[in-house]
Amino acid sequence: MSAHTNLAGIRRDYSLRGLDRSDLLPDPIAQFRVWLEHAVQAQAPEPNAMTLATVDAAGAPAARIVLLKGLDDRGFHFFTNYESDKAGQMEANPRVALVFHWIELERQVRVRGAVSRLTRADTEAYFSTRPRGSRLGAWVSRQSEVLADRAPLERRLAELEKRYPGEDIPAPSFWGGYAVAPVSVEYWQGRPSRLHDRFLYTRRPDGGWRIDRLSP
């Protein structure tokens, strides 16, 4: 970016489509599956990429991009190192938020909920589908550890390649999955003049969902 770039002048008017209450399914997970498939069909790069926001025990927020790797009635699934900063933050405070942004469709989805660990069976089932390099990488990386350079990573990788020369690489005990059980899900569709369409699903006491249109 040039030092003279006019950030205030960068804007895009959204005009692809609108969003009405009648377009939405009663369940936000089912609706998410529809929008995710639209993003896949639109060839959005990494349509399952999502921002995961966490808060630590002191109340300090943090956010990073992770990948959605499963979706069912337990919520939105992702996997990480249990010894990472984000895992420690989720242990201290299980309330998290997710954001999906598909600029090709002028759409955004925001999720708020509580995170919990998936079962070991879930972790092992997913781990077995990962490419060999990714499985080795899960063993190599002591996520969030301070490194002086890449040499320790390269040494650990070489050692593990010798230990596991084939495809039979077990999931590390310090690595696994989480599910975010939503309490609210917002669907956002860009519209001209920043008069966007927003609909919020909120979990009711009876387990169903209330849907409200929000002002942009």
At 51, the amino acid letter reads T
Instruction: Out of 194, 198, 210, 213, pick the active-site residue.
Output: 194
| Alpha-carbon distances of 193 from 12, 186, 190, 212, rounded to whole Å | 9, 20, 9, 21
AA letter at 41: Q
For 95, list phi and psi in degrees, rounded to 5. -80, 120
**SS3 (DSSP) at 19:** coil
Instruction: Compute the C-alpha angle 144/149/155, nearest 5°.
Output: 90
Q: Alpha-carbon distance 96 to 64, whole Å?
A: 12
The Cα 53–Cα 68 span in angstroms is 14
**CA–CA dist 98, 160 (Å, integer):** 34
Q: State the virtual CA torsion across 60, 102, 47, 64 in degrees, nearest 10.
A: -10
- 124, amino acid identity: E
Positive or negative torsion for Cα 157, 160, 162, 164: negative
Please say if 194 is a catalytic residue: yes
Q: Which two tokens stand for residue 95?
A: 């309330």
- Whole-angstrom distance, CA of residue 126 vs CA of residue 135: 10
Catalytic residues: 194
